[in-house]
Amino acid sequence: MKNNFKNLIHIFSIVFLSVPTISQAISENDFAYKAVLGTDSSTPFYELEIPEIVYQNVSRDDLGDIRVLNSEGSVVPHGIRYLATEKTSKIKSKSVTYFPLYESEGTVSGSLHLNIQRSSSGEVVDIQSDSTEHNANQRLIGYLLDLREWKQAVETLKFSWKAEEGISFIRKLELSVSDDLSNWKPVSQDNTLVNLSYQKNILIEDTLKLSISSAKYLRVIYADNKPGLEINNITVSNTQSSLKNKINWKKSVVSQQDDSEKTKEGVYFFKHELKTTLNKLRVKLPENNTVVKVNVLSRVNKDNTWRHRGSAVLYRLSVDGINIHHTDISVSSTRDTQWKLQIDQQGGGLGSGLPEIYLAWQPQQLVFVARGQAPYTLVWGSARVPPVTQDASKILVGVNQKNSMSMLANAIWLENTVSNVNLMSLETANKPVNWSKWFLWAVLVIAALLLIWMAVRLMGKMAE
């Protein structure tokens, strides 16, 4: 009897394991749209800024229903990342106060011939130069720069000087910094000022590149025993850099009517139709000399309540022929699709005409592996394929700043190849009956019943 049970278990195992796994490969027909990508390089990776039309027609906010197919129709690995931030730089410069430094014969080099007034706590409160009192036994050895009003890093130091025409010189400088005019710290000894003239050719080096994070005073000393160079002006400068995410703008259609609400004065409706996060609006007022307070609200759909997203005072004014305006509104980040702009009617509202509303959205970048043969096709828009979301950094193996030119190239968006494939894939319709699957399950059930019947019969005979 023990052997009979073992045989019975063995038969059940064979039947269940014999049922094939049914899986269907993803194909182009599973998506609503497609477009061919141009790849004219031989790099293993390609990147593409995802076009606006893709955001309009995907089914998922996370872009999980896009794929890249090679010429054989096979899916290739891909990932998504936000576009690298744009770096903006602004140079700030200022002419600083400076004092000439003189050295008397027989004194220690670098002595300060200045009248320095200090407070009771020892803080320097005033500096006055006694340059008018220097005599023939004193020589100009450098300058003291007062940086107390600068209060930021010094990246460049630019000089202008008095020099007779045709005079050439190369002056080596030693620089040091201090916060109390007593203790000095050297910062650079390899800087020179150059003024060379030869056969109508002129070479001038009047700017020093430095890296001084902060200092109240900067001392510039001529490092040779030549007569001092008289300076006309000294300018310090600093480059202020900031990182900013790339932003695209899309004009929205504005209406004063909505299916779920009665028309009200000063209320305007618009939609955010892209599957992206919205965090900023730009509202252009229709008439000049307008100042209004606005509130912005949004909701997912008409079955949800409106939620406050931001407010601002907007204006469009003309002053002496010069137009000034404030148009931008920061709103709390959301992917809501329905939006409402409420205008405070005190003061006359907007006047005549509709406002122009632009939506700010941050584009993303598609990165894919060039596996298989080109051409590669981007397909998107499907409510039926399982979502795939992966950070692009996960697939960019071995790519760094040094080799990115040879490893990563730009794919070309061929707009004229955009076409519909299967718009039905956007609908979450009932899946068609898979008759092969049902047939296999029917065979399995019949086989199971047959085994049970055989087991009952066998056990009955053994009881006899």
Residue 32: which residues within 8 A CB-CB, separation 6 or more?
Answer: 57, 380, 381, 382, 420, 421, 422, 423, 425, 426
Owner of token pair 């050439």:
168
Domain-embedded: residue 11? yes
> Structural domain of residue 351, as residue ranges?
248-361
pLDDT mean over 161-165: 76
Which residue among 327, 361, 395 closes a domain? 361
- Secondary structure (3-state) at 150: coil
Which residue among 181, 208, 243 closes a domain? 243
Res. 22 pLDDT band, cuts 50 70 90: very low
* pLDDT tens readout for residues 80-139: 998 767 677 788 899 999 988 887 765 544 455 566 666 665 566 566 665 545 566 678
Q: Which amino acid is at 61?
A: D
* pLDDT tens readout for residues 395-446: 888 887 777 778 899 999 999 999 999 999 988 755 555 666 677 778 788 8
Cβ atoms of 396 and 78 within 8 Å: the answer is no
Specify the pLDDT at position 270: 94
Residues 368, 356: one domain?
A: no
Residues 53, 135: one domain?
A: no
Domain-embedded: residue 83? no
Domain-embedded: residue 208? yes
Domain-embedded: residue 117? yes
- Secondary structure (3-state) at 54: helix
DSSP secondary structure of 231-275: EEEEEEEEEEEEEE---EEEEE--BS-BTTB---TTEEEEE--SS
Percent of the chain with pLDDT over 90: 39
Specify the pLDDT at position 36: 96
Closest by Cα among 247, 262, 250, 249 to 340: 262
* 163 pLDDT higher than 60: yes
Residues 101, 235: one domain?
A: yes
Residues 276, 156: one domain?
A: no
Residues 335, 235: one domain?
A: no
255 strand-pairing partners: 269
Residue 265: which residues within 8 A CB-CB, separation 6 or more?
Answer: 345, 349
Compute the mean pLDDT over every residue in the chain, rounded to the nearest whole number: 83
Question: C-alpha 410: how far from its chain's center?
Answer: 18
Residues 115, 165: one domain?
A: yes
Which residue among 243, 266, 298 closes a domain? 243
Domain-embedded: residue 87? no
Specify the pLDDT at position 198: 72
Residue 398: which residues within 8 A CB-CB, separation 6 or more?
Answer: 407
The rounded distance, in Å, linking the Cα atoms of 314 and 326 is 5
SS3 of the chain: helix, strand, coil, percent, to 5: 15, 45, 40
Cβ atoms of 216 and 176 within 8 Å: the answer is no
Residues 35, 151: one domain?
A: no
Residues 60, 136: one domain?
A: no
Residues 228, 346: one domain?
A: no
Specify the pLDDT at position 89: 76
Residues 236, 287: one domain?
A: no
Residues 312, 274: one domain?
A: yes
DSSP 8-state symbol, 131:
G
Domain-embedded: residue 84? no
Domain-embedded: residue 173? yes
Lay out the sheet containing 338-343: strands in order across. Answer: 267-271, 338-343, 290-299, 307-319, 322-326
Specify the pLDDT at position 393: 87
Residues 351, 422: one domain?
A: no
Owner of token pair 């400076």:
98
The rounded distance, in Å, linking the Cα atoms of 54 and 32 is 11
Residue 349 maps to which CATH number? 2.60.120.260
Number of domains forming the structure of the chain:
4
Domain-embedded: residue 354? yes
